[in-house]
Amino acid sequence: MFGDEAEGFHLDAWQASISGRSPATVLAYTSDLRRFFDFARERGRLTPRAVTRLDLRAFLAAEASAGYARATLSRRAASLRQYFDWCRRRGLLDVDPASRLTAPSGGGRLPTVIGASDLVDVLDDLHEITLDVEVLDRAFILRDLAVVELLYGCGLRVSELCRINMDDLDLKGGSVLVLGKGAKERRLPLHDLVIDALVRYLSEGRQALIKENTPATAIFLNRVGRRLGPRDVRRILDLRFDQPVHPHALRHSFATHLLDGGADLRIVQELLGHSSLETTQIYTHVSKERLAAVYRSSHPRA
């Protein structure tokens, strides 16, 4: 996704400058910067010199709105401070826009949760495909259905979904192998509707999207036949939902709806791939907030 897109930002040279750090730190900082480079390019910023402090604040605000934890936002701010300080020392810019940059306040912000009925409506609409649709349009609809079903059905991070390969799927056994943060693998169950969506896409849709440069192992393909990337997924959600929906909102919704239905917190932790139970506990607060909202709107004396 990022290859040529990171060249104007001298990513390789910056990585070499921190090669003495632990592999986990290098991976985390590089991931943070690549997310920002992607964001910056969409705003027309193609080099470090073109980036303003406003761009940096807008990026962190967007990440906060997507529901990322305060600790993650703080690390991203630290990554940006270190990178732009390196750029200044290398003479790639005159003024460091990340000087004294901090994560946005509001660490207690609850993640966005999509109502179960709204999700069901979108998925049902995609399931009801007629044979009258053109072959290519049908392929995209089947792909989008499988993407949304899998994101919500398994609570995947968007990066996890984009990395899934053919060999990771066990449709007969009803499971998928996912590579999460820290290169940790977890095998997740697939419910029947997810399996149905994947079977339909793989048997009726994927072939129409294949091009000469298509990776043989990639499941989800974009319009040019390459592996689907996070930006492609966001476009899919923008197209299929009536309101802006970040891919991470489907993960939040997955966790919250499970807890609302009585699932054990530790089971949800395992499904999400959280290394710490504390990270998962934010969803208990979401559920309590939803419970209070229902009470206030429903009880005649509330």
**Is 283 among the residues known to form the active site?**
yes
Q: How far apart are CA 147 and CA 233, in angstroms?
A: 8
Q: Answer for the pair 39, 232: CB distance below 8 angstroms, yes or no.
A: no
Q: Which residue stretches of the chain are H helix?
A: 11-17, 23-42, 53-65, 70-89, 116-127, 135-154, 158-163, 192-200, 206-209, 230-240, 247-260, 265-272, 277-280, 282-298
Among candidate residues 29, 68, 152, 283, the one labeled active-site is 283
Q: Which is the catalytic residue, given 75, 143, 157, 252?
A: 157
Selecting among 10, 75, 143, 274, the annotated active-site residue is: 274
Torsion of CA 116, 117, 120, 124, to 10 degrees: 180
* CB burial of residue 93 (10 Å; 0-12, 13-18, 19+): middle
Place of tokens 């095998």: 187
Length of the chain: 302
In the residue annotation, 41 being an active-site residue is answered as no
Please tell me which residue in 76, 143, 251, 252 is annotated as part of the active site. Answer: 251
- Name which of 107, 190, 109 is nearest 152 in CA terms: 190
251 is catalytic: yes
181 assigned to active site:
yes
Element (H, E) at 215: none
Q: What are the two backbone dihedrals, phi and then psi, of residue 278, each rounded to the nearest 5 degrees?
A: -60, -35
Give the position of tokens 């990178």. 83
Phi and psi based region of residue 245 (left: phi greater than 0; alpha: psi -120 to 50; beta: remaining)? beta
Q: Given 75, 81, 248, 257, which residue is catalytic?
A: 248
Residue 298's alpha-carbon distances to 117, 181, 294, 295, in angstroms, are 18, 40, 6, 5
Q: Which of 88, 181, 235, 240 is catalytic?
A: 181
Q: What are the residue numbers of the active site?
A: 157, 181, 248, 251, 274, 283
